[in-house]
Structure 1
């Protein structure tokens, strides 16, 4: 039996009510009571407070029957905005969303160097810029979550970022001190898995998301919570050795999985074989369509090495859902069929294997969702994903 003081119980009830309002989009007080098991008086008191705080709205639902029109409750999408930031090797992507998790603005800025001070300065400028643009909303910019392509401690400090060669950086404190905004730091693969749970697989209790871009990371969701290990380092699956004494890796080992199955490793090989620098996804897609023999040969090997690692992950975790986040595989015809053909073990079991619909947006989407979750102080968050609604028209103050 759950016990605690009145304020604690009230906080739990508030969290449940907000979660269900967001999950259902629009819901009446009566239906909230049925779904949550809370009495109508509790629902009425909580709703009144949330309305006074401008976090929810009331709407009279249209209907043709006689009698009073039901009053529906919904989240006030424009009460505040969250900023998701994907800090990758050569580009930083900024995604702004409203409180429903719908993207309303996004931009990418290229970075030429890895100097920590310069990148912090750029981040401060952009966060301050978004803070000003959102100042018209009751809660303004509610927070910024930054996805790091590297190792993040449980205290949100950065232990190591391989591509930028950063060691022991407190980016959270550096940005909060300069911007006055709540800043959260998280591993990018964790944010990708969080996006999958929040936007697509809310009912899943065991989901893994493998991100294959500049490196390889694994986000592990168990009971809708991130599994991060004792220090926060869980999921560095790209440094699993699959080829003894193989290619050297920045981590110091030889034969790490990401040297064979990250998109960066594939593009490097493809560029070398085609004698062409800066190969784009459009060019790769063209070669797929034309069935270019060089590209086809490299993809055959790529799928093989990718499957080695996926087989190990499946044996380790027995996932309900295993999501592969890869722009390359989104373009490649029959990618899933070819991968599954390599997963022939009678021991390793999974229920569903799929390629993420979110692609490179997954990290920043998960970042926005995490900022919303932290701001609303809810234990569970389920947001809708509708591609046609993303980047909708939005007026920001200058």
Structure 2
């Protein structure tokens, strides 16, 4: 398609399937749906709001949050204006986050709540513009640079404007601190991310009817490549839990067809299932062993599915799972075999990372792919 970028694909789905559900998120125990047309309109409002704040081509929006729809929409709005989204993992140790924020010295930050807002204000440059999602604890905050997400929308208009983003530009930049306490960066262009998403869509036969679950932060290359990119390439529904603590209950309630997880994710889910297994020597334990035998007869498979496998899959919200993806380090064979016994066949999708160590002298500057060899560019 013309303009192979995240904003262009959002516009495409808004035009071709405006009434289908693009996002679903849980708030105060209630699931809320947002269709592609409405999602497109909200992103346009955010584009207008960011533009009024002075965000423009080449600027970076730092995201300090657990997975939530606001971070995704702000990322696309920043890219719409020719900028870059830089997700940081809020679960990092405080000193690591402080080092990253001090090094980046961002001018624009999206922070989830009070803790993340205070981290951003403490380690960013003076005058940083902070957009936050949760107002609890911030009602009496005197900082004029703080803007609540909903208030940001109320003062913006959804005026159509052509995206500034170009396919060869960076869409996302990931940052981390290595063992030597040096900051490293990895850039991801629009076209390369969307191509990798398209490859996954073709290989796994993903379609518009998929229900994907976003339970981890976007500060990993695997989630950018194999969750966000396929979402826009195929145009399926992306679901967000209410918060990181409710993710397992929310997944059980939804029963997604597509899940992207790391080794830690699947080992945690495995432990949840194993905790429900009866003692091996008990009568029920012997029945479970009988029902899950790999060389099971037709009767065993029938009983195993309805009486054992399906209930155990329900424990982790995998009742309808079709494409469980693993990114990062491999799972032990014992874990892979355990999931196979439940008819959950985990597929590994990952690429070698291309981290680049930044010069320690450029505390407020980082090189972009376009400027390597031609100087360095400020992260604003």
Q: Normalization by structure 1: what TM-score?
A: 0.29
Q: Normalization by structure 2: what TM-score?
A: 0.30
